[in-house]
Amino acid sequence: MKSIRKSAVVLAATAMSLSLALAGCSSSSSNEAGSGSTQAPAASGSPAATKAASSSDLKPYEIKMVYPGTAQPDQAKVEEAMNKILKEKINATIKLMPIDWGQWDNKTNLMIASREDFDILFTAQWNGHAVNVGKGALLPLNDLLSQYGKGITDSLDPNFLEGAKIDGKNYGVPTNKELAASGGIVYRTDIAKELGLDLSNVKTIQDLEPILKTVKEKKPEMTALFLREGDNFNAHYFAQYDFLGDATIPGTIMKDGDSTKVIPVWDQPRYKETLKITRDFYQKGYVNKDAATTQLSYQDAMKTGNVFMITQSLKPGKDAEMAASTGLIGKLGQVEMTARTISTGDSAGSMLGISASSKDPARAMMFINLLHTDKALNNLINFGIEGVHYTKVEGKDNIIKATDAGKNYAPGAAWMFGNQFLNYLFENEDPQKWEKYKEFNKSGKKSPGLGFTFNSEPVKTEVAAAVNVEKEFNAALDTGSVDPDATLAKYQEKMKAAGMDKIIAEKQKQFDAFLATKK
Amino acid sequence: MESYKFMFKDWHQILRSFGISVYLAVVGTAISLVVMALYAYPISRSDFPHKNFFSFFMFFTMLFNGGLVPWYLVYTQMLDLKNTLAALMIPLLVSAFYVLLLRTFFANSIPMALIEAAKIDGAGEIRTFSQIILPLSLPVLASVALFQVLNYWNDWFLSLVFISGSKNINLQFMMYKTMLDIQFLSSNVQASQGLAAAGGVLKLPTETVRMAMAVLGIGPIVFAYPFFQKYFKKGLMVGAVKG
């Protein structure tokens, strides 16, 4: 029997070790050495690198940048071209690590949790920025900014950094782009012309009535006004509600008001008025019938070619941008219908943070600084190599057109990388776009809640319940699909039952504490 | 037909992913069968002294696991398998449930007398296992193999977690990716707006194209079924021991 036992043990042991041996047989195609855990990051304030006097006294370093997007076929070429600039300026090389949108949340969470070694991470208020900061995934940047981010602080509107703060510190460098936002509509100019409609003096939602009426009568096959959940007259950008963070959590102030009292959205004077008009439009058949449930994005709706008007969060040139992405070039116009306001969401909508696992945060900051200041580098990462992916239009320094090979490098991520004011413009865009942006940003009114983001952790359960109630009612109410008078009472009742008062009290408490620190 | 044409524009990616899926299903299943059978056999033997320990060792993993992050750490940092095919294969190699299934079969359907007979005839342990036990266990091996083929074929999660870029992704994930992208962009308005603003347009396939993908995805696995079918029908144990 002894021999049986022995060999059986051997068998079992073989089986167990086989799985380990197999693992050893694989060759890794990634070029990173699988070093174990990274070292604890240097405390902010004592960056490892020396002063950036010149690139020669910096050690060579590879900066890894993780951002959402689709990997481009010509990425390696562009990296190479970027490295030429970076070597000379900060003696670094860049490795772009795009992650597909759909995998973004999953993958970045794992990368953060496993303290994987990378330097720069795209982050945004709508993408769990506060959560990641809470996890300690991102370094506070204020010291680094003052040391290596001169170019950033000089060119960036201070409202950006102020709005993106969490507990008085910045954990991401906001992209320099449109800062304010206003609500309005985007409509088909070609159809308006055909029907002889003039939208130049539209000021309120009510003013749209005769226009929609004409469209409905003359073009019955068209959807005069396409509404959907999140894109309607009651959307936060149109009605100017500031939810102080996540727009699914009840409790608002007004972006264009001064009151700092957090109240339920239906107590805002604008709310019921808007619902009434929307309901009226819906009953008259101006609005798409499936508005409450449609999964069609506004873009796809526009693309179908039988939608006359949609509501949009506006900025200069939004119509041209949309035209390009929906294939309706030259056929769209926009009408601003609200004040221009700046809220936390607008200022922190796109940022580059530095990972706590970065081995050289200082160098990462230098790179972000270059993205904000170095025109050549900025356009390289956004549009590829001149003469390969795009050519400049004759006699214009700032206007480009894509070549046939342009599709091999079109990340469409200019809004994530540094400074949009350095971007070249495509032919079909307004050549004055950036000047208009600057003016637009200047004219924005700050929301009383700028810089504050609500932390829903203490009222997690109530929030979960409230979000479900919202799902049930919001889309139907906001799109005019149901009678507001009857439904609103039910909505309020259910919200109260979900613990709305507790959420609002908590919001108010945090908000007051925030306001106290600002004084 | 149009949809299939559209799909095969990107044929080299599809072919690659398809190849990876097939490779994983075939090779992964083969290796996993060998490993699991080798583990299950000793713990099925009543005369193996450490049987209980090893059984429990396997059973324990069914009750408790380390959680996603430690699991991810083991594969990426300890074994450094990020972006490799091995990362798509190894995590599914051994499933505790199938090991116990095999063990039960070995223990219950194969009489001890048979093993003793082989021993008396001068066969060693390895020979007994490979020439007596395995051929007699075809039914259970076939069913486990079928499950494993399905597991490998249907798996997209491993690709999601371990693979970046599109070089090493399997077919299921290639399809799933577009779904994920659609989901993400419809739930994050700001992202889609930013994307639209930059002129980057995600080419999202239409409903029909997605259906065409689904057909492509189930195609080969449909053929696997009849192949395994014949083993299920085979009776067991045709008078190997004289009663």
Under 8 Å between Cβ of B72 and B155:
no
> Which one has a higher pLDDT value, B142 or B185?
B142
Q: Are A106 and B81 inside 8 Å of each other by CB? A: no
CA A454, A459, A465, A469 dihedral sign is: negative
In a domain, A374, yes or no: yes
Average pLDDT over residues A160-185: 87
| Out of B41, B77, B180, closest to residue A36 by CB | B77
pLDDT band at A360 (very low <50, low <70, confident <90, very high): very high
Structure tokens at B116: 């003793």
Whether A229 shows a pLDDT value over 50: the answer reads yes
Cβ-Cβ contacts under 8 Å, A127 against chain B: 188, 191
> Which one has a higher pLDDT value, A296 or A98?
A98
pLDDT band at B240 (very low <50, low <70, confident <90, very high): very low
Residues 6+ apart with CB under 8 A from A100: A68, A69, A70, A71, B177, B180, B181
In terms of CA atoms, which chain A residue is nearest residue B161? A107
Question: How does pLDDT run across B84-114, given as a tens digit for each residue?
Answer: 888 999 999 999 999 988 998 888 888 889 9
Cβ-Cβ contacts under 8 Å, A230 against chain B: 189
Counted domains in chain A: 1
Cβ-Cβ contacts under 8 Å, A29 against chain B: 83-84, 167-168
Under 8 Å between Cβ of A352 and A127:
no
Question: How does pLDDT run across B79-90, given as a tens digit for each residue?
Answer: 888 888 889 999
* Spacing of C-alpha B134 from chain mean position: 20
CB count in 10 Å sphere of residue A150: 14
In a domain, A436, yes or no: no
- Point out the least confidently predicted range of A511-515, B3-7, B12-16: B3-7
In terms of CA atoms, which chain B residue is nearest residue A27? B84
Confidence at residue A269, expressed as pLDDT on a 0 to 100 scale: 86
Confidence at residue A280, expressed as pLDDT on a 0 to 100 scale: 92
CB count in 10 Å sphere of residue A102: 21
Q: Are B186 and A297 inside 8 Å of each other by CB? A: yes
Confidence at residue B243, expressed as pLDDT on a 0 to 100 scale: 38
Under 8 Å between Cβ of B61 and B148:
no
Closest listed residue to residue B133, CA positions, set A8, A10, A17: A8
Confidence at residue B2, expressed as pLDDT on a 0 to 100 scale: 65
Confidence at residue A22, expressed as pLDDT on a 0 to 100 scale: 43
| Out of B34, B125, B202, closest to residue A8 by CB | B125
The CA distance from B172 to B160, in Å, is 10
Q: Are B197 and A37 inside 8 Å of each other by CB? A: no
Interface test with A, best of B41, B57, B77, B172 (most A CBs within 10 A): B77
Whether A48 shows a pLDDT value over 50: the answer reads no
Average pLDDT over residues B118-146: 89
In terms of CA atoms, which chain A residue is nearest residue B186? A297
Q: Are B200 and A350 inside 8 Å of each other by CB? A: no
Q: Are B77 and A28 inside 8 Å of each other by CB? A: no
The CA distance from A191 to A188, in Å, is 6
Confidence at residue A200, expressed as pLDDT on a 0 to 100 scale: 86
Confidence at residue A42, expressed as pLDDT on a 0 to 100 scale: 39
Q: Are A113 and B72 inside 8 Å of each other by CB? A: yes
Whether A50 shows a pLDDT value over 70: the answer reads no
Q: Are B80 and A28 inside 8 Å of each other by CB? A: yes
| Out of B54, B119, B164, closest to residue A97 by CB | B164
Whether A76 shows a pLDDT value over 80: the answer reads yes
Q: Are A322 and B41 inside 8 Å of each other by CB? A: no
In a domain, A119, yes or no: yes
In terms of CA atoms, which chain B residue is nearest residue A295? B186
| Residue A322 C-alpha, separation from nearest chain B C-alpha, in angstroms | 7
In a domain, A93, yes or no: yes
pLDDT band at A83 (very low <50, low <70, confident <90, very high): very high
In a domain, A305, yes or no: no
Angle of helix A2-25 versus helix B29-44 axis, rounded to 10:
160
Confidence at residue B109, expressed as pLDDT on a 0 to 100 scale: 84
In a domain, A116, yes or no: yes
Q: Are A16 and B39 inside 8 Å of each other by CB? A: yes
Question: How does pLDDT run across A415-466, given as a tens digit for each residue?
Answer: 888 898 988 888 877 788 888 888 888 888 888 888 888 888 888 888 888 8
Instruction: Classify residue B107 by burial, with Cβ atoms within 10 Å: 0-12, 13-18, 19+.
Output: middle
Confidence at residue A316, expressed as pLDDT on a 0 to 100 scale: 86
Confidence at residue A6, expressed as pLDDT on a 0 to 100 scale: 53
Cβ-Cβ contacts under 8 Å, B164 against chain A: 71, 97, 99, 107
Question: How does pLDDT run across A116-155, given as a tens digit for each residue?
Answer: 889 999 998 878 888 888 888 999 999 999 999 989 989 8
Cβ-Cβ contacts under 8 Å, A101 against chain B: 180-181, 184-185, 191, 202
Q: Are B47 and A1 inside 8 Å of each other by CB? A: yes
Confidence at residue B29, expressed as pLDDT on a 0 to 100 scale: 94
Structure tokens at B163: 């693979």
HSE (side-chain half, CA atoms, 13 Å) at B139: 12
In terms of CA atoms, which chain B residue is nearest residue A231? B189
In a domain, A151, yes or no: yes
In terms of CA atoms, which chain A residue is nearest residue B92? A19
Q: Are B48 and A325 inside 8 Å of each other by CB? A: no
Whether A312 shows a pLDDT value over 50: the answer reads yes
In a domain, A361, yes or no: yes
Under 8 Å between Cβ of B176 and B160:
yes
Whether A53 shows a pLDDT value over 50: the answer reads no
Confidence at residue A292, expressed as pLDDT on a 0 to 100 scale: 87
What's the mean pLDDT when you consider all of chain A?
83
| Out of A7, A71, A324, closest to residue B125 by CB | A7
Confidence at residue B190, expressed as pLDDT on a 0 to 100 scale: 62
pTM given for the model:
0.73
Q: Are B86 and A16 inside 8 Å of each other by CB? A: no
Question: How does pLDDT run across B164-204, given as a tens digit for each residue?
Answer: 777 788 888 877 877 777 777 666 666 666 665 555 555 55
Q: Which residue has the tokens 């819906």?
A: A282
* CATH classification of the domain holding A110: 3.40.190.10
Whether A198 shows a pLDDT value over 60: the answer reads yes
Whether A79 shows a pLDDT value over 90: the answer reads yes
pLDDT band at B232 (very low <50, low <70, confident <90, very high): low
Cβ-Cβ contacts under 8 Å, B85 against chain A: 26
CA dihedral A255, A243, A110, A97 (to 10 degrees): -20
The CA distance from A121 to A67, in Å, is 6
Beta-sheet strands, E only, within A216-368: 223-226, 241-242, 253-254, 307-314, 332-336, 341-342, 351-354
Question: How does pLDDT run across A278-294, given as a tens digit for each residue?
Answer: 999 999 999 999 988 88
Q: Which domain holds residue A98?
A: 29-177+347-380
Interface test with A, best of B162, B174, B189 (most A CBs within 10 A): B189
> Which one has a higher pLDDT value, B202 or A413?
A413
Whether B233 shows a pLDDT value over 60: the answer reads no
